[in-house]
Amino acid sequence: MQLREQFSLTQQSFQSAPLHIWLETSLAAILCLWGSLHLAGQFQPISALETQRGMQADTLRLDFMTFNHRASLMPMELDPSEAQVRVAQSWKHS
């Protein structure tokens, strides 16, 4: 903003930022990238806890299993139009 004010006071047109601002911004971005990659240390692999090593994925989160859902109302032998009617009727009764 100060640069634009300076250009307006000297009656020059603003076209782009000066070279030293571009260089300073680029250098800062490169230093931030280098610092985040090299100063953080070595990446460690994500491994399971000792208690979870032999478990299957379906036994880890039993709280997320749902057995009482609307799909149980839809018999597989019906065509889709009959299933929709039967589901609508079951919603009226509940």
Encoded amino acid at 79, one letter:
D
Measure CA 86 to chain center: 39
- Taking residues 61-87, what's their average pLDDT? 67
Q: Which residues contact 78 (CB under 8 A, 6 or more apart)?
A: 86
Q: For residue 35, is pLDDT > 80?
A: yes
Q: pLDDT over 90 for what percent of the chain? A: 13
Domain limits, the chain: 2-38
**What's residue 33's pLDDT?**
93
**What's residue 13's pLDDT?**
75
pLDDT band at 31 (very low <50, low <70, confident <90, very high): very high
